[in-house]
Structure formats: C-alpha cells, structure tokens
Structure 1
Amino acid sequence: MVSSSSMGDDGLIHRLGHAKALLGILAGAGASYGIYKLVQKRSRTKSVDSGGHENRTGVEPGSLIAKVSGFNVVGAPGSSSGDIFTKSPGSLEPHHIGMLLSLLQKNPNPSERAQVLLTLGNAAAFTVNQDLIHDLGGLHVIAGYLSNPSADVRVQSLNALNNLSMNLKNQEHLKVYVPQVLELIEISPVNSDLQLAALRLLTNMSVTDKHQHLLKSSITLFLSLLVVANEALQIQVLKVLVNLSSNPDMMEDIVQSQAPASLVLLFDRCTSVAVLLRLLTFVGNLRAWRPSTQVAQALRWRQESLYCVLLDESSQLHHRLPLLLSHPDGEIKAQVARTLT
C-alpha cells in the first residue's frame, strides 16, 4: 500500500517521474464499469510460410493459439482447414480454456504469453467463461503474471483480471492482489498502459463497498496522479474516487488524505468536460458529508489535507465554482448549481 507521506507541490512532478514516485464508473453512478475493449496488438516479428505468404501474427499456422485466439493465420497451401483458423472468444469451449491456461504456464515466450492472456481476457467478457476460469483455478494463474518482467504481459494480465472482476464471486479471490495492483500504479511510468489497466481493475473492485477499505491508504496516490495525468488516466482515477466517495464510511479517510494544492486548478473551463463532470460529482459527494465540529476543527490543522484544499472555508474552490456557472456545457452548469446548493 502507498503511504500518505508528505509531498509538496514543487517536487510533485519530479517525484512522479521516478520509479518509486507517488503519482486509466460513470460519474455519480454505482453501476459497474463496462467491459474494457481490448485492442489486439500486432507482433513485432514477421515470418513467411512455405508458400511465400507473410504471417504477421508471430504464431505458427495450426497451433493451439492460432486455433483459439481469433487470429487469421495463413497456413500451408492445400491445408484442409481452408488455410484460416479462427475462433471467437464467445465460442470457446471448456477444454479450450483449460488448454489456454496450460499453454500460458508452459510457454516461456513473452509475446505469446501476452497473446494467450489477451485471448483469456476476451473470453472473460462472457459470464460463463468468468465462472469457468474461476473453476479451473485460472484467477490465480493469470494474477501470477502481474509480476512478470514483460510490461505487455503485465498489462494483459490486468486486462484479463479486469473482465474477470465483473463477477462479484471472483472479486473475493482477486482482493488479495489489490496491494500488488496499487504498487504497479505507483512504480509504473505516468500515463502508461500499466497504470490505466490497473485503475480499470480497481474501478471494478470499488463498485461496491465490500473492498473499498483496501484502497483507503492510497487516496493520496490517486489525488497526486490527478494533477499530472493525461485525460484518459484522470477519468479512470476519478471513477475510483467517485466510487469511494459514495461510501459515507470512507469519507473521513478521504478528506484527511494529503492532496496537492494545485488540485483546485482543475476546476476550470479549460479542463475537459469528461474530467470536470467527474470532479464535480466527486466534490458533490464530499460536500454532502457533514463532519462534526470537533472533526472539522481537527481537519483544519492539516493544511495539506483534501479537506483544506477543497472543503474548508479558506479553499479557493469556493471562488472557482461560481465561475463555472457560465460554462458552455449545460450539464456542467447544472452540476455546479447542484453542488452550490
């Protein structure tokens, strides 16, 4: 887990650029984040079959991965299979899933492992396969590649676990990997595919309040990432924060977390609509919380806390929010009006 150690604005970007620095759910909704659309990458290697046809997939014609991963693989001339082997993720049979899990563990080639994980991730978009992978012990097999030396393998492992986490039963088994996923966010380059994939998984894991407590010591990490990340990653961070802030039991942990003072600058017309809407939803959840006089007084002594940055009477947010009432987007204006009431 990431600690909430002190971090000033001046050194923030410098720290986030290093290996151990603090740093991709619809706004206001409690529904689960939709299935992540996995994008199949072409292999960096090329080969030519015996007939002179170029094979860009990096897998052998007729191999298991060619048959079950959905690739269009050119086979040798005269092949009885019609030269093309395809299998859509939705039509994989139980023995295919078992063979993929076996191949994943036996094949040492990183690029082929990544492709097998991609196939398992696509298959996990279907409920029947989520249950099947669970019953075959595949959750722990796939999660075992979160520490693989290959970044592509780690990304595809996260993507597969993301789809598997759509199943609440699976979440009970995946919760033990939350600290490892948080560490990946912390040590990975800012705006990397690894960070985005890890945050997608945490979005699903934080849909209900059952496992949200596992993230409470990493709120500072999320808030720090917000001020340096690109739009895609900001949106994903905010989906997690909106989920957490919808739980009253998490609120005290959220507001006392250290936050960069520059966070308030995101409440601006220049911020993208998608990010701003989620920021306003997050703040709306925070403002709905009513601390006792004693708690509020204690929080005011922590000048770097989120409470002081966004909620206290001295916060610049109180001056910035009314300016957004003239925002050209109608939904932004409506959300600001709700927040101010």
Structure 2
Amino acid sequence: MGEDGVVARLCNVKALVGILAGAGASYGIYRLVRRVQSERRPGGSRRQEGGHGAGGPPLKPGTLLAKVSGIPLLRGSTSRAAGETESGSLGCEIRACRCRCRLNRLDAPLSPPGAVEPHHVEQLLSLLHNCAPERLHILVTLANAAAFSRNQDLIRELGGLPVIASFLSDPLPEVRTQALNTLNNLSMNIRNQEQLKVYVPQMLDLIEMSPVNSEVQLASLRLLTNLSVTNTHQHLLRNSITLFLSLLVVSNETIQIQVLKVLVNLSANPEMTEDIVQAQAPASLVLLLDGRTNPQVLLRLLTFVGNLRTWEGSGRRPVPVGLPSIRGRDSVHRVLLAENSELHHRLPVLMSHPDAEVKEQVARLLI
C-alpha cells in the first residue's frame, strides 16, 4: 500500500473513531460509521436506512420556528414535498439523532442516550470536509441534527455553514439538494440567517438554471421561504420577482405552492410593494384564478393579490429612490390589479368555489 493510501486510511479511521468515542454517541451516528466502513471494503453495498423516533422541545409562540411555514425535518435528497401536508405529520429518516418530525413543531425532549454531543457534530463536519464520497449521508445526518436549536447554534459556531454551503455547487444534483435541505433546517435560527443571506444569489441561480420541477428548485424555494419570513432579507429578492412569477405559470402544484409562499411573504411587506407591482409578469398568470386550480395554489394567489391591493389602496406605497413609478402593460399591476385586468371577470365566478377559505379571500377582493 502506498504512502498516500496509508495516510488517507489513518485519516478516515481517526475521524470515525472520534465519532464513536464516548458512551453518548447516538445509534444513528453508529450506523453512519458502519456504512462508511462497509463501503470502503470491496463489495460494500449502499442502502437506505430508516430510524426511530423521539423529538425536540415544544415550540414557543412567537419564535422564528413557530412563524415559518413548511420547515419539515427532511428525509434526504430523494424525498419530495408531495409527502408533506400543512396540518399533518411528515416522516423523516434518522441517522444522527432519534427524532420524529411534525410540520412546524418538534415533539417531546430528546432523551440523553440519543443526544448528539458537540464533539459528534464537530467530527461530522470534519468528516464532511475530508470524506467526499460520503458527503450525501453526512449531510442527511447534519440535517437531522440541525432540527434542534442547540445544534443550529453549534454548527454555526463550529464554522459549519460555509462548509455545508460549499456543496451547493456540487456536480451531483442530489448532493446540492441535500445541502439545501440541511441549510433549510439551519435557517430556523436568526443568527444563522445572517450568514446564510450571502448565499441567496446562488440559490436564485439554482432555481433559474435547474430543470423545472426539480428537487433542487424545490429545496431552494423552501430555503428562500424561510429567509423571507421576516422583512430583514427580503430586499435580496427584489430583482427576482419576475423569475418567481414565470416559474409559477410553468411548474407543478408543489413548486407553485412554494413559489407563492415566497411571494406572499414579500407582498406582506409594504416596502416591497412597488417592486412587485412593477415587475414583469406573464399574461397567463391570471389564468390560475380558476376553479380548476389546486385550492392551495388558488388560496395563496388570492392572498398575494389581496396583500398588494391592501397597500395599493392605503396611499402608503413607498417608491424606492431612483425607481420611477412606471407600470407597463406586462407588469403585475396591469395583469392583476388594473381596472381592465381580466381578474375582475374571474373573481365573481370563484364565489361559487367549494372551498370556504377561497370564497372568503374572493369576497375580500370584491369589496
């Protein structure tokens, strides 16, 4: 065996032994280590693993986590939001910690025997940096660990955010997706958001350059949803409204819902209103205001229009310095808000929609 091979093997062994050290190491990390070891041997095979459940502390009202919609503990690079419901639970794959995710909340406190200790997280980040072939499995483990607030702080303090974000440019789409999923869980922390905001341009590029309806697009939109929950970083999306609107008319329902979550967040901020109403919009956008549109898509689109109308009619529209108030024929204002918009012909028809929330939003717009 050559000198380079011996050094690499010693490095891997040292990292793996460090993870296993201590009686408190979780079973999930043990399984990850076993996977790494077995796949280093000739004939080693890969397989998906499940996990067992525990949880984290209940959410406190008013916290960022409680405010964000759609932050599940993700199953990994191959899972889709199709398995997600807005009021139900979402199963999750466990490696680093024994936990069970429920949409927008974590359950009972994690028991000490299954806890992930700080040195485990440190070893995982080291392993991620040095063991490229296992990066996907390690990212899944870190995503699960990042569901707990103490680990969100710890990963940041250990310099893990840029390490994880470096995989946004990985050649494999499944690795890019899982890096986004991990950052998504980490974005439930306000201090983490301050560091993650620098990657917004890269997320927007991933949305624009990835195939429509891809996992990468969905994971990028989830992360942008979290970053746009508060007004702090919304200005970073100021020039991407046309991108979101264009994606809205060509994508499937899962992507449409996630795009509209971002747009609803932005439209709730009066400082973003003028940018939105002047953005170029596809004329076909108004065609989504139809009884055959998925009710969750329709409800969010109506909420988006309602938010814009609220600020349009308030007389408090701020016009950014240097931005002329010009609303062209292809603008959001022309397509959705102007007096001659087709929207006004479609709203009365929607009053017969079977969904009560949809009818309520339509009634608000008809007043």
Give the TM-score normalised by the residue count of structure 1.
0.74
Deviations along 1:113-147, one digit per CA (max 9) or x if unpaired, are: 01100110111110010011011000111011111
The structure 2 residue matched to 1:97, chosen from 118, 121, 135, is 121
Distance 2:362 2:267 in 1: 17
Query: Partners in 1 of 2:269 and 2:130 — Cα distance?
Result: 43
**Unaligned residue ranges in structure 1 (runs of 5+):** 1-29, 43-65, 71-86
Task: Assess, with a 3 A threshold, how the Cα gap between structure 1 residues 128 and 201 changes in structure 2: closer, same or farther.
Answer: same
- State the match for 2:69 in structure 1: 33
Contact 1:171 1:205 in 2 (8 A): yes
One-letter amino acid of the structure 2 residue matched with residue 229 of structure 1: S
Please name the residue that 1:331 is paired with.
357
Superposed displacement of residue 31, structure 1: 2.2
Q: 1:269 aligns with which of 258, 279, 291?
A: 291
Matched with 1:213 is 235
Q: Is the 8 A contact 1:36 1:159 kept in 2?
A: no
In 2, the alpha carbon distance for the partners of 1:215 and 1:41 equals: 25
Q: 1:96 and 1:270, CA in 2 relative to 1: closer, same or farther beyond 3 A?
A: same
* Contact 2:95–2:144 (Cα < 8 Å) also in 1: no
- Is residue 2:344 matched to residue 1:318? yes
Alignment check: 8 A CA contact 1:97 1:120 kept:
yes
Matches within 5 A, 1:63-142: 68=96, 91-109=115-133, 112-142=134-164
1:41-52 matches, cutoff 5 A? none
> Using the alignment, how far apart are the partners of 1:178 and 1:89 within structure 2?
37
For residue 219 of structure 2, the aligned residue among 197, 216, 219 is 197
Alignment partners' CA distance in 2, 1:256 and 1:338: 23
The Cα of 1:37 is off from its aligned counterpart by 3.3
Task: Provide the secondary structure at the position in 2 that maps to 1:39.
Answer: coil
Deviation at 1:69, TM superposition (A): 7.1
Contact 2:97 2:116 in 1 (8 A): no
Counterparts of 1:335 and 1:152, CA distance in 2: 38
1:20 corresponding residue in structure 2? none
Query: What does residue 184 of structure 1 align with?
Result: 206
Residue 230 of structure 2 aligns to a residue in which SS?
coil
Which is bigger in relative contact order (C-alpha 8 A, separation at least 6)?
1
Q: Could you tell me which amino acid in structure 2 is paired with residue 39 of structure 1? A: R
The superposition leaves residues 34-92 of structure 1 with CA deviations (integer Å, 9 ceiling, x where unpaired) of 422312468xxxxxxxxxxxxxxxxxxxxxxx98477xxxxxxxxxxxxxxxx999621
Once the two structures are TM-superposed, the CA of residue 322 in structure 1 deviates from its matched residue by: 1.1
Q: What amino acid does structure 2 have at the position aligned with 1:311?
A: L
Give the Cα–Cα distance (whole angstroms) in 2 for the partners of residues 126 and 175 of structure 1: 21
Contact preservation (8 Å) 2:288, 2:298: yes
- What letter is aligned with 2:130? K
Structure 1 counterpart SS, 2:307:
helix
Quick check: 1:89–1:122 contact (8 Å CA) kept in 2? no
Is 1:340 paired with 2:351? no
- Relative to structure 1, the CA distance from residue 143 to residue 40 in structure 2 (aligned partners, 3 Å threshold; closer, same or farther) is closer
Secondary structure, counterpart of 2:67 in structure 1: coil
The CA RMSD over aligned residues, in Å, is 2.4
Q: Is the 8 A contact 1:97 1:133 kept in 2?
A: yes
Instruction: Give the deviation of 1:329 after TM superposition.
Output: 1.2
Q: Which runs of 4+ in 1 moved over 4 A?
A: 66-70, 87-90
Matches within 5 A, 1:165-180: 165-180=187-202
Which position in structure 2 is the counterpart of 1:304?
A: 330
Deviation at 1:314, TM superposition (A): 1.2
Q: Counterpart of 2:16?
A: none
Q: Is the 8 A contact 1:90 1:126 kept in 2?
A: no
Q: TM-score, normalised by structure 2?
A: 0.69
AA at the equivalent of 1:210 = T
Return the offset for 1:334. 1.1
**Does the CA-based 8 Å contact 1:239-1:278 persist in structure 2?**
yes
Supply the distance in 2 between the matched residues of 1:121 and 1:67 (Cα, whole angstroms).
Answer: 9
Counterpart amino acid of 1:97? Answer: V
Give the aligned residue type for 1:143: A
Percentage of pairs with the same residue:
64
Post-superposition shift, 1:170?
0.5
- Paired residues of 1:69 and 1:89 also in contact (CA < 8 A): no
Q: Please give the alpha-carbon distance, in whole angstroms, between the structure 2 residues aligned to 1:147 and 1:88.
A: 36
C-alpha separation between the residues in 2 aligned to 1:152 and 1:307?
A: 38
Q: Aligned in 2, Cα 1:254/1:178: closer, same or farther, shift over 3 Å?
A: same
